[in-house]
C-alpha cells in the first residue's frame, strides 16, 4: 500500500553545516522543496535548541538526530528533556537494548501526557550507513548477515513501542515482510541519486530504490546542499520520488 505522504514531505534534508547562518540560508531556500531539516551532532553540540528554534521560526520542521545511546536512566532523562523542549521528531540507538528503548518510550509518552502535548515521533537507529558487513563482523564481532541483524533490531524497535526505524532499501524489504504494520515508519538514512557521489557512506540507495522498497522518508544531504543549484537538485529528487510512487501504484506494491 502506498502511504499518502506527498513527495516533498518524504525528504529529510541533512543540515551538515557549521553555522546558523548556513542553516538560515538552506531553510529559506529549500523549505518549499523538503519536508524536514535534520540537525545532527555538529549543530547540536554548537547550537542545540537554538538551531531547532531557528528552523521552526523560518517555517521548517526539525528532525533531531541525536542518536542517544547510554544506560536506560540517562537516555530516558535526555528524551524527557526533548519533549519538554518541544522536539517532535527524534531518534535513539537500538543497540542500547530493549530496556533502554522501551523505558524511553514509556518516559516520553508519560511526559507528553503530563504536559498535554502530542507525543513526538521516536525512531530507532539500527546500524550506521557507514558500516558494511566487514565492519559488523570483524570489528563488532557480530556473526550475522547485516540484513538479518538490522531486521532483528527493527523487531526490537517495534516490540518496544517505537514509531519506526532507520534502515536502507534492502533492509526495508525484509522489515516490511516481517512487520505487518503500515504505521511503522522506515527512514532511509543515506539516499544518493544516481548523479551524486556516495561520499563516506557504504550502504546507499537511490530515491527510487528506497521508495519501491517500502521506505517512507529519505535522508538526503550533500547531493542537494552542495549542488551548484540546490533548488534544481531538490526538484530532481522530488521528480524521482513522484515517479517511483506512481510506479508503486501500477505495480500494486
For the chain, give the longest Cα–Cα distance. Answer: 48
Q: Is 173 a catalytic residue?
A: no
| Helix axis angle, 98-115 to 72-84, nearest 10° | 30
Look up cell 544506560; give the residue: 71
What grid cell was written down for 207?
530515491
Residue 205 and residue 193 in contact, taking contact as beta carbons nearer than 8 Å: no
Integer Cα distance of 23 and 58 in angstroms: 10
Annotated catalytic residue, options 8, 31, 38, 67: 67
Q: Which residues on neighbouring strands pair with residue 12, listed in sequence order?
A: 36, 219
| Contacts with 82 (C-beta within 8 Å, 6 or more apart), sequence order | 64, 66, 90, 108, 120
Look up cell 543549484; give the residue: 229
CA dist list (Å): 213 to 74, 173, 207, 230? 35, 5, 10, 26
Active-site positions read 67
Amino acid at each position: 500500500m502506498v502511504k499518502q505522504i506527498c513527495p516533498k514531505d518524504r525528504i529529510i534534508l541533512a543540515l551538515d553545516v557549521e553555522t546558523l547562518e548556513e542553516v538560515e540560508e538552506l531553510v529559506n531556500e529549500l523549505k518549499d522543496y523538503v519536508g524536514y531539516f535534520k540537525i545532527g551532532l555538529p549543530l547540536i553540540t554548537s547550537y542545540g535548541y537554538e538551531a531547532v528554534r531557528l528552523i521552526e521560526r523560518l517555517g521548517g520542521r526539525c528532525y533531531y538526530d541525536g542518536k542517544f545511546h547510554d544506560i536506560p536512566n540517562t537516555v530516558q532523562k535526555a528524551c524527557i528533556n526533548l519533549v519538554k523542549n518541544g522536539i517532535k521528531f527524534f531518534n535513539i540507538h537500538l543497540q542500547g537494548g530493549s530496556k533502554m528503548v522501551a523505558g524511553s518510550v514509556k518516559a516520553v509518552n508519560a511526559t507528553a501526557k503530563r504536559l498535554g502535548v502530542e507525543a513526538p515521533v521516536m525512531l530507532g537507529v539500527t546500524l550506521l550507513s557507514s558500516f558494511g558487513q566487514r565492519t559488523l563482523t570483524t570489528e563488532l564481532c557480530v556473526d550475522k548477515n547485516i540484513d538479518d541483524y538490522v531486521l532483528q533490531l527493527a523487531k526490537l524497535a517495534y516490540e518496544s513501542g517505537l514509531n519506526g526505524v532507520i534502515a536502507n532499501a534492502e533492509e526495508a524489504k525484509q522489515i516490511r515482510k516481517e512487520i505487518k504494520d503500515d504505521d511503522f515508519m522506515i527512514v532511509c538514512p543515506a539516499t544518493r541519486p544516481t548523479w551524486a557521489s556516495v561520499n563516506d557512506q557504504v550502504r546507499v540507495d537511490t530515491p527510487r530504490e528506497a521508495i519501491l522498497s517500502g521506505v517512507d522518508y529519505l535522508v538526503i544531504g550533500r547531493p542537494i546542499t552542495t549542488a551548484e543549484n540546490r533548488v534544481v537538485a531538490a526538484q530532481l529528487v522530488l521528480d524521482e520520488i513522484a515517479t517511483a510512487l506512481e510506479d508503486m501504484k501500477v505495480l500494486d506494491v
